[in-house]
């Protein structure tokens, strides 16, 4: 009888100790990987709206691709705009025979208005080249969430209409080199997608 009493006491005690040990083990939780937003603007450059076009880009095709982690927070924002600072390598540019990837920080600005959602990309290239691409998307392409983190727009792709004047609405490319500033219209498309963050800023471009 004594041995049966020992077994009755010992078994629940052992079970309790094992359960306590299991519960005490830390539970590893892995946060979902942030996605990478990829936006591609491509089309035909021209007409010349301002400047002398020293790089001879008028009439050429151009492509600008930006990659931004959707975990980014804006470095500046207002009630209808957000400015994101992007690391080196985040923007790739091809215009005519010129092709480069940024080797310094660049910026992406999203502005939501009643007439258009405006995307502005500022980047620096070789030989002191400064580029600004401005894409006028359909109003309502982005939700308000883009003001807190980069996110996709819809529909995608969508057509871009070239600006008719240097200071007027419409898509355009501005560049400055050797102190000379040129503004070209840009007609084409804008598209975007997002994917896992593991290939962000890959060297293979």
For the chain, the C-alpha Rg in angstroms (whole number) is 26
pLDDT given for residue 33 in this prediction: 63
pLDDT at 168 over 50: yes
pLDDT given for residue 196 in this prediction: 73
Mean pLDDT of the chain: 86
> What is the mean predicted confidence (pLDDT) over 48-53?
98
Taking the C-alpha atoms of residue 2 and residue 5, their distance in angstroms, rounded to an integer, is: 5
Give the pLDDT confidence of 122-163 residue by residue, as tens digits.
Answer: 999 999 999 999 999 999 999 999 999 999 999 999 999 999
- Quickly tell me which residue has 């215009």 as its tokens: 95
Within 10 A of 21 (CB to CB), how many other CB atoms are there? 9
Q: Which of 37, 97, 12 is nearest to 62 (CA)?
A: 97
Q: Do the strands 61-69 and 81-86 form a parallel or antiparallel pair, or are they unpaired?
A: unpaired
Taking the C-alpha atoms of residue 43 and residue 150, their distance in angstroms, rounded to an integer, is: 23
Percentage of the chain lying above the pLDDT 90 cut: 77
* Lowest-pLDDT range of 98-102, 138-142, 183-187, 199-203: 199-203
Give the pLDDT confidence of 186-201 residue by residue, as tens digits.
Answer: 999 999 999 875 444 4
pTM: 0.81
Taking the C-alpha atoms of residue 29 and residue 46, their distance in angstroms, rounded to an integer, is: 52
Instruction: Tokens for 176, please give them.
Output: 């400055």
In b/e form, how buried is each residue of 73-103, taking b as 16+ CB within 10 angstroms? ebeeeeeebbbbebbebbbbbbbeebebbbe
pLDDT at 62 over 70: yes
């Amino acid at each position: 009888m004594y041995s049966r009493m020992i077994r009755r006491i010992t078994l629940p005690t052992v079970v309790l100790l094992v359960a306590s040990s299991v519960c005490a083990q830390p539970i590893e939780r892995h946060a979902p990987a942030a996605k990478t937003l990829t936006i591609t603007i491509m089309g035909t450059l021209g007409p010349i709206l301002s400047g002398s076009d020293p790089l001879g880009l008028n009439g050429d095709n151009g492509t600008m691709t930006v990659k931004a982690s959707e975990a980014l927070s804006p470095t500046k924002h207002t009630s209808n705009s957000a400015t994101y600072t992007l690391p080196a390598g985040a923007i790739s540019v091809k215009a005519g025979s010129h092709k480069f990837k940024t080797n310094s920080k660049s910026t992406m600005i999203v502005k939501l208005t009643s007439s258009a959602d405006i995307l502005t990309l500022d980047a620096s290239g070789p030989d002191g080249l400064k580029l600004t691409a401005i894409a006028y998307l359909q109003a309502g392409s982005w939700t308000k969430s883009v003001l807190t983190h980069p996110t996709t727009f819809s529909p995608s792709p969508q057509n871009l209409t070239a600006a008719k004047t240097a200071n007027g609405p419409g898509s355009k490319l501005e560049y400055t080199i050797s102190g000379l500033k040129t503004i070209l219209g840009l007609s084409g498309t804008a598209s975007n997608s997002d994917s896992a963050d593991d290939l962000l800023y890959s060297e293979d471009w």
